[in-house]
Amino acid sequence: MAWMDRHNHTVLKEFILTGITDRPELQAPLLGLFLVIYVISVVGNLGVVILTKVDSRLQTPMYFFLRHLAFIDFGYSTTVGPKMLVNFISDQNTIPYNRCATQLAFFILFIISELFVLSAMAYDRYVAICNPLLYSAVMSQSMCWVLVGVPYLYSASMSLITTIKIFTSSFCGYNVISNFYCESLPLLSLLCSSTREIELFILICSVFDLVSSLLIVLVSYILILKAILRMNSAEGRRKAFSTCGSHLTVVVVLYATLCFMYMQPKSSHSFNSDKIASVFFTLVIPMLNPMIYSLRNREVKGALHRMWKNLCKFPIQSSIDNAYKTN
């Protein structure tokens, strides 16, 4: 009888996303704003991926991790962004059942990956500053792949387990998600079956991911700070701080947003505040990261300048070659 009761619930074929706002006069301005943010994010992150791949001077472990960070930022902003933009101009903000599950799975995959790639970047800076003579030996190509491969595998497994647990549970007939994308907390509120096991699993995983990744970052930067303070040269201290500044800025912005989203007191927790934080988390941060690394990094700015010069020279050289061939 319990098996029959569990399967007598309404079988959902789609979900309705409430979106960012229900005020019609704000739809067009927000569409324009978020379209610009998303385009800048895509161009910036794909630009970093291409630049760190093709420029010979950026073939170091630090830029290897930066390339993966840019790929992850592109991934989770693209998981959410296009559907959110379409919903601004569509009459009914619906998302198919299977696509909702896919969106949730990829979103969790990229978010967890970002936390541990940032931790790997902190460890890389620790080795570079505290053990410079051993840097090449410790941060070998195989070690770099381990430091990104393990987080990808772990994130994929956590993503699949969470998504399967939610979407194999029984949903009631109500299918309105109080957000602009498929996120775990609003989805749990739609379940008819007990959510205690899933909530406990998500809580344990979230605490582990946040605490372990943040602990690696904090320990790395405490050791880096101690090493910098022991330096006699003011120029050496300035250079060491400059190599960590961009990464530290990204870490502070990301963790501050995560703490706002998931560590509020239950009495002050609301889906409206979650929406604001989610916009910042899914669209604004992926747009800011390439800017932070480009504006604060001389090597990246130099690579951009070299690439721009090569692109400008190519049409001129082609015109000269064609002129010679004609003559």
| CA atoms of 81 and 75, how far apart (whole Å) | 10
The mean pLDDT value for 13-35 works out to 85
Structure tokens at 310: 């090569």
> For 208, which DSSP code?
H
Among 24-33, 80-89, 228-237, 265-274, where is mean pLDDT lowest?
265-274
pLDDT at residue number 102: 94
pLDDT at residue number 234: 75
**Would the pLDDT of 7 be above 50?**
no
The mean pLDDT value for 270-283 works out to 74
Three-class secondary structure of residue 223 per DSSP: helix
Q: Please, what is the angle between helix 61-89 and helix 285-295, to 10°?
A: 140
| CA atoms of 219 and 211, how far apart (whole Å) | 12
Three-class secondary structure of residue 171 per DSSP: strand
**Residue 290 pLDDT grade (very low, low, confident, very high; cuts 50, 70, 90):** confident
pLDDT at residue number 273: 65
What pLDDT digit, counting tens, does each position of 187-223 carry?
888 888 788 889 899 889 988 999 999 999 999 999 9
Structure tokens at 96: 């198919």
Quote the percentage of the chain above a pLDDT of 70: 83
Among 33-42, 178-187, 250-259, where is mean pLDDT lowest?
250-259
pLDDT at residue number 227: 86
Structure-model confidence comparison of residues 294 and 40, the more confident one: 40
Domain ranges of the chain: 14-290
> For 139, which DSSP code?
T
**Would the pLDDT of 242 be above 90?**
no
**Would the pLDDT of 313 be above 70?**
no
**Would the pLDDT of 316 be above 60?**
no
What are 191's strand-pairing partners? 171
What pLDDT digit, counting tens, does each position of 138-148 carry?
999 999 999 99
What pLDDT digit, counting tens, does each position of 54-73 carry?
877 788 898 899 999 999 99
Q: How far is CA 35 from CA 77, 78, 83, in A?
A: 12, 12, 11
| CA atoms of 305 and 78, how far apart (whole Å) | 27
**Would the pLDDT of 4 be above 50?**
no
**Would the pLDDT of 11 be above 90?**
no
**Would the pLDDT of 304 be above 50?**
yes
- Name the residue among 104, 116, 98 with its Cα closest to residue 154: 116
**Would the pLDDT of 103 be above 90?**
yes
**Would the pLDDT of 253 be above 60?**
yes
pLDDT at residue number 1: 37
Cβ 181 vs Cβ 278: under 8 Å: yes
Q: What dotted CATH number matches 14-290? A: 1.20.1070.10
Which residues, including other chains, have CB under 8 Å from residue 147's CB and lie 6 or more apart?
65, 120, 123, 124
- Name the residue among 48, 67, 64, 216 with its Cα closest to residue 140: 64
| CA atoms of 108 and 200, how far apart (whole Å) | 16
Among 101-110, 121-130, 135-144, 272-281, where is mean pLDDT lowest?
272-281
| CA atoms of 284 and 277, how far apart (whole Å) | 10
